[in-house]
Amino acid sequence: MTTAAEAVSVLRASAVRGRTGVVVFDTVGAFTAALDEARTGGAAVGLVPTMGSLHAGHASLISRARAECDVVAVTVFVNPTQFDDVADLAAYPRDPDGDVELAGSAGADMVLMPAVEEVYPEGSATVVSLPSLSGSFEGESRPGHFDGVATVVAKLFAMTGRCRAYFGEKDYQQLALVRTMARDLCLPVEVIGCPTVRDADGLALSSRNARLSVEQRKAAPVLYRALLAGRRAIECGSRDRSAVESIMRGVIGQEPLARLDYAAAVDASDLSSPDELGGAVRLLVAARVGAVRLIDNLGTFATTPELAHPGRRQSVTTSPVAPQHRLDDERHPQ
């Protein structure tokens, strides 16, 4: 693997001669030292934390970091503390060689691929927990999951130092938790949320999609259709949270291969569940398609009647019109 001095040399050469390939680290010390040296020279660092099995969604994060930062670092680490099912951890797809190739082609300068012992040394006892954001939805379905996420991301931020960190909006609850954690711990990290990348049929890109059978893959876009139906209901005037959630549940219920976990309409800023929706709203769904658990979300805005038509009453309906594929906050690979 690469020493800090070699990494800095490669990064300097890249700045002079153009891209020279991605540098791979397996130790935290060398990775941190290389980034410290880069910042000493005035470089702005972009970080893309991942669990590997990289796909076009990850590539979009890396490409954005490349466009906005001088040095781009990707971390590939399947974090054991965020899994509540040993079988799920064992089944999680891994492709280290492919990950390095994709990261480099998308614009990464370096990749950290540490062993578990590098991230969690013997005797590790510290856990980062945000109960106000981790007890519902994914946190309720996967006890302890977000403690593992918050802890490992805090560690990755500490290893990287001052940077801009890029996360996809597909894991919206995770994004909210990471932003809050970085703010509350005064970490020198700007957390950037990036739009979800989808296949042509609307399915959000995920490493878990590779575990779907052909029939399950055909069924999986039902999550996105449920979100579109919920958004359309809000666009048509519904402000009743329960009614919107019922519409989304109904769409999922029409797919025999899908087993709903939750369908929720929440305040986009704090994930609370007001009876009456208003302002920025995030629609969340989770379901199992076969044995594979998938999540997705979509943003919308619930304008109050007074804001939409000042001085005029507006009728409200909870009946959704057939959803239209407006993708102004989503990205489809070309």
Query: How large is the angle between the packed helices 4-17 and 28-40, nearest 10 degrees?
Result: 40
Q: What is the 3-state secondary structure (H, E, C) of the chain?
A: CCCHHHHHHHHHHHHHHCCCCCEEECCHHHHHHHHHHHHHCCCCEEEEEECCCCCHHHHHHHHHHHHHCCEEEEEECCCHHHCCCHHHHHHCCCCHHHHHHHHHHHCCCEEECCCHHHHCCCCCCCCCCCHHHHCCCHHHHCCCHHHHHHHHHHHHHHHHCCEEEEEECCCHHHHHHHHHHHHHCCCCEEEEEECEEECCCCCECCHHHHHCCHHHHHHCCHHHHHHHHHHHHHHCCCCEHHHHHHHHHHHHHCCCCEEEEEEEEEECCCCCCCCECCEEEEEEEEEEECCEEEEEEEEEEECCHHHHCCCCCCCCCCCCCCCCCCCCCEECCC
Residues 6+ apart with CB under 8 A from 267: 273, 274, 279, 280, 281, 282
Interior CA angle at 89 toward 88 and 93, to 5°?
90
Task: Spot the catalytic one: 58, 145, 325, 332.
Answer: 58
Closest of 76, 3, 6, 72 to residue 44, by C-alpha: 72
Assess whether 58 carries a catalytic annotation: yes
Which sequence positions are flagged as catalytic? Answer: 58
